[in-house]
Amino acid sequence: MAALAGSAARILFPPLCGGCRTIVSIPGSLCGTCWRELRMIERPWCEILGTPFPVDMGEDAVSPAAIANPPAFDRARSAVAYTGVARRMVQALKFNDRTDLAPWMAVWMLRAGTELTAQADIVVPVPLHRRRFLWRRFNQSAELGRAVARASGLRFEPDLVKRRRHTLQQVGLGRTERDENVRGAFVVDKASREAIRGRRILLVDDVYTTGATVSSVARSLKRAGAGGVDVLTFARVLPEDFLDTATDPI
């Protein structure tokens, strides 16, 4: 009966490519054209920022950017570069209510963040302000975080961090503007501090651009007593892809 029901569902609702929505054979997969567009982020990478190196720099190598400007978090990892099909998937999840993509995106995130999930205690998503949540009806970071937590067996705590003031959307802002936009925007209230005291937090977001948002959240978590904060995102804007003057803003 289950097999028959599954066959009927496949006929009525065939699995679609996460990038272009053409029919594919397996749910949560990409068609051949979209798969070729995907740029997976692989080692060797900076052990702190997770940005890939063009050549192997040796074990535990750290990039000049991480040395010159140490982030508020401990480590960051991302599954794919924010170009092509990955960009379309993020935008479909975020703006077109494609929450069905979150579990499949989380699979790639877990592959990139194996070392982070192995040491994490709690998964926390980057929060939305209540005004934006009411408009969008869901938090894309929470959808990804829930899927990551479920697959890794970690606690999922979507309400530990609050966005206490409404901020501009980061889309189209330059590096300095992004930092100023989210400065002091996040807080952990007193009732939640005991839950994170001494715990290692895995902070989940959809895209890492300059790190301004996740750094601001990480500071609030550490001020509240977190033992460590790592960042896991689905996509990442690589340095060579980021332009403050880009005509197609991130």
pLDDT tens across 63-109, in order?
Answer: 999 999 999 999 999 999 999 999 999 999 988 888 999 999 999 99
CB 101 within 8 A of CB 179: no
Q: What is the DSSP annotation of 139-178? A: -HHHHHHHHHHHHHT-EE-TTSSEE-S----STT--HHHH
Residue type at 206 in one-letter notation: D
60 burial level (CB within 10 Å; 0-12, 13-18, 19+): exposed
Give the residue with greater pLDDT, 3 vs 212. Answer: 212
CA distance 128 to 134: 10
CB 144 within 8 A of CB 125: yes
Residue 239 predicted with pLDDT over 90: no
Report, in this order, helix, strand and coil percent for the chain, each rounded to 5.
40, 15, 40
**What is the pLDDT confidence band of residue 165, given thresholds at 50, 70 and 90?**
low
Residue 247 predicted with pLDDT over 50: no
- Give the percent of the chain with pLDDT over 70: 79
pLDDT at 172: 53
pLDDT at 137: 75
Adjacent-strand bridge partners of 81: 236
Whole-number mean pLDDT of the chain?
85
- Give the percent of the chain with pLDDT over 90: 62
pTM: 0.86
The alpha-carbon radius of gyration of the chain (Å, integer) is 18
Mean pLDDT of 159-188: 68
pLDDT at 175: 58
Give the residue with greater pLDDT, 123 vs 179. Answer: 123
Range 43-241 has CATH code 3.40.50.20: no
Helices (H) then strands (E): counts for the chain = 11, 7
**What is the pLDDT confidence band of residue 174, given thresholds at 50, 70 and 90?**
low
Q: Which residue spans of the chain are classified as CATH 3.40.50.2020?
A: 43-241
pLDDT at 13: 62
pLDDT at 48: 98
CA distance 45 to 59: 10
